Amino acid sequence: MEFRTFDIPGPIEILPTKFEDDRGYFSELFRLEPFAERAGPVEFVQDNQSLNLRAGTIRGIHFQAEPAGQGKLVRCASGSVMDVAVDLRRNSPTYGRWTSVVLTPQSNNQLWVPIGFGHAFCTLEPNSVIHYRVTSYYSPDHDGGVAWNDPDIAIDWPNVADPDTLSAKDRALPPLAGLPQYFSMEGR
């Protein structure tokens, strides 16, 4: 298993090893000890899956505020997505910056999006299935987000990104400048 970090501390790309033969492959997708050595202690409590019928579907930028903060381990089971993590820790030197990876079943990779980061994705193919494990149960009272196209964040979305696919909730999310301080470096 390989772990890749970014210029923004926190998110981690995980590349599980594939053992292939003429039948297909076997891969260990998650192993707590090496993951916790890099990401810190975690306990996953819920698995979620999202089917996205159209290429260009945009979801996010979402997060859950404390005390229901959610770390997410995201993988693509079918199709492909550009998966994005945005630093929302107000006193972080990388506040408002983002990083991304393309997740595909062929590359078998995953993205760890820790508490304190917003999460978003754009599907690159139709019928993309996203699976993610989370460290806290969904709480409507702590649900939050930031506008997907905020110019202060300036995510370089792929050409297929289609704003018509946004949910009503995502269309109404505030800009980064209007976001209260939900996270810090000390408290996550």
pLDDT digits (tens, 9 = 90+) for 17-29: 999 999 999 999 9
Query: 92 lies in a domain?
Result: yes
Inside any domain, residue 19 = yes
Residue 132 is a catalytic residue: yes
Residue 75 is assigned to a structural domain of this protein: yes
Is residue 70 within 8 Å of 136, Cβ to Cβ?
yes
Q: What is the pLDDT of residues 150-172, one digit of tens each?
A: 999 999 999 999 999 999 999 99
Spatial CA neighbour of 153 closest among 57, 87, 60, 74: 87
pLDDT given at position 185: 79
Give domain status of residue 186, yes or no: no
Contact 56, 123 (CB under 8 A): yes
Residue 181 one-letter amino acid: Q
From 95, 119, 132, 182, the catalytic residue: 132
Handedness of CA 50, 73, 71, 160 (dihedral sign): negative
Per the annotation, the verdict on 142 as an active-site residue is: no
Does residue 181 fall inside a structural domain?
A: no
Given a contact cutoff of 8 angstroms between Cβ atoms, the answer to whether 105 and 77 are in contact is yes
Give per-residue pLDDT as tens, 50-65: 999 999 999 999 999 9
Residue 184 forms part of a structural domain:
no
Q: The CATH number of the domain where 70 resides is what?
A: 2.60.120.10
Residue 165 belongs to a domain? yes
Q: How many CA atoms lie within 13 A of 81 on its CB side?
A: 32
pLDDT tens figures, 92-134: 999 999 999 999 999 999 999 999 999 999 999 999 999 999 9
Q: Would you say residue 123 lies in a domain?
A: yes
| Residue 188 confidence (pLDDT) above 80 | no
Q: Which domain holds residue 146?
A: 2-174
* Number of separate domains in the chain: 1
Q: Which candidate in 62, 95, 119, 182 is catalytic?
A: 62
